[in-house]
Every structure is written in C-alpha cells, then in structure tokens.
Structure 1
C-alpha cells in the first residue's frame, strides 16, 4: 500500500497521539497505585477515606493533563495537514495574450505566457514561461497554439529539455488555425516543464487568448 505525504503525516501524528495517551494512562495507573498506599489521616479520617480522596485528585489531575495533551496534538495535526494541502494546491493557466506573436526563428525558443489567469502555488514563472514542480507527483499539462497558416506552427511540450508531446501545423494557404495537445507527466520535485516553439515556425495570439499553456497537480507521490 502506497501512502501520500498527507496520509503519512496523518499516520505519524496519530501514532504520536496514541503513544502520548499510553504514557499518560501509565502515569495514571502509577499515581493511583501510590495514592492507594495505606495511611491514617491527621484529622482521624479512615485509611479508605484518605486513599479515596488522594486517588480522585490524582485521577482528575491526569485526566486534565491528558485532555490538554490531546487537544494540543489534534491542533498540531490540523495545522500540519492544512500546510500539506496548501503545498498540494498547484494549478496554473496562462495565455500569450494580445501581445503574443513570435517567429520564425532559426532555433527553438521557449514561449513565455505572460497573461496569467491562475497560478495557485506559484509554480509557474510568467517571466520565464517555466513551470517548476514543487513536489513529486503526477501532473497534467495541456496547450493550444493559434496561427495564420501562411506559415507553419510547431509546438513542443518540454520536460527538462526533452520533448514529450508536440503538434505541428504545416503551411496550408492563408487561414487561421489552432492546434492542441496534452499529457500526464510524472515529475520529481524540481523538474521543469515549458513550451517551445520549433525553429522556422511561428505562433500568434490576440485578445481572445487562443494560445494557452495549462497545468495542475493530479496527485502527489
């Protein structure tokens, strides 16, 4: 059975809770045992009365401490789980926008999608066009490209400098065309994903945001 980081964190915290509860219960047993020692009260109370009062005070004290420890541990667990969930909220979507239009170039270039619609987790850099995985997991990426078919358009979804999937529209007259593709990728923490425009091709966009780059974390590993 494989557990996600969130599940592992929860299991560890539950084990700590159980360990602490066991320690306090053992303390309760020891305390009650000591309180049960036979002695005669100064005011003439019977041995049973003195022992009963001491035992009740001991039990009340341990129960209060146990309650405090459990509340503190539960609060810490909630905080840790919420922090983990925040780290796992990774999603972005951006377009080239009205200023988007580049190519052809003699070599492939990284496309920078500056019109950002969402960037939860801040893993996408709108200055470089590069997405950097904040944690290991399976991610989904998709992209679309718009162009005037008087010239070819070639787009590559890159992972650490290596092409994963691509689209290529050949020159075919003089009409507007759009191509799309997408893929699930297994990424390690720090892996980089970005879009590259092939050499000798071009891409364009306008206020309708045809040319886009989208990605999000499906689940952590």
Structure 2
C-alpha cells in the first residue's frame, strides 16, 4: 500500500499511501515507529529512498524525498541495555549493549545508510515531572473549551508522578495513569456532576484515590 497496488489489483487507482503523502508534502518529517517490526519489503523500499532520494509508485509516478527528514525508532536492544545497566555498569555500557543488538537486528546495508544512530536514556524522575507538567497543561487547555479548569494539590501531583513513572514503559505509562485516574473522573463530573456548567475544580488525594471538589 505504501507505493500502491499493482495493476489489476484492488486499490490500484488509490495510489500509494507513502508516495502520495510525500508528493503532497515534499518538505516533511517522516517518522517510522518500531521499524524492527516492519516486513522485509519495507526495508527494500527504504533502501531505495536512502540511495536515490526517489520512490516510484505502481503507476510509475515519482515521489522525491530530497527534502524529507527520515526518522526511525526502534526498541531493539532495549532489554539488553537494561541488563547491562544493572550493578556497577555505566550508562555508556548500556548504550553499547543496545547498539550491539541494533547491529544484530538490522542488516549491514541498512545500517550503513543511516546518518546517525541515537540512543536515548531511560526516563528519569526529573523528566517524568516535566512530562506530567506538560500533560496537565494540555489537559487544562482542552478543558477550557468546556469552561473548566483544574488545579492539583501537591499530594495529587505526587500521586500521579509516582504512579506514572516507569523506566520500562516511559511516557506511555504516564498517559495511561492520567487517562484512568484523572480524565475518567473529570469527564464523569463534566457530564453528570459538579462541573456540568463548568467552573474551577481542585484535584486532591484521599486514602490513595484522587478526588475532585469544585473551588
């Protein structure tokens, strides 16, 4: 589907998802998440893109990638990095373990065409605090459309931070905790409770559970 279905097959007239998107927005950032899970045919397409900067779809039309920034993410080696960082090993050794597994996962001809491989450290508590602050600001911005604003007590803030901080799952765990413990409660109050007509609310922590009261 990236370059379109062959002639005579269903979807031929639809064009390619990737080629059409790049023709429409030739100056873009193309993000491919968890690239290690891709089919081998995808790697063949990427090799063509990285070699020639051009990709031809099933109709013979060219999409030019010369102004496309290609970023690929991968979890390859993450488990080995965690093992390497146990005990007295340094962050550098964890990064080396990850790079070693990356080279084992991907073929040399693919790795040789990458400009750079960047290894990210695990999320620490300070980074988790920044992420939580950003998520709460985004939530308040969305609530403003319903004439609602919230403020968290220190206890509630620390509860979300502690519950959402996970080295293994990163920021996704923070998203899950905010959705399950905060957003669900807020939506219930906005639809059926204290915030049906809008207003300011304070989120607190009581007996290990988040609570909400209108200010």
What TM-score comes out, normalization by structure 2 length? Answer: 0.23
Q: Which has the higher helix share?
A: 2
- Indicate the structure whose relative CO is greater, using CA pairs within 8 Å and at least 6 residues apart: 1
Q: Which has the higher strand share?
A: 1
**Rg larger for:** 1
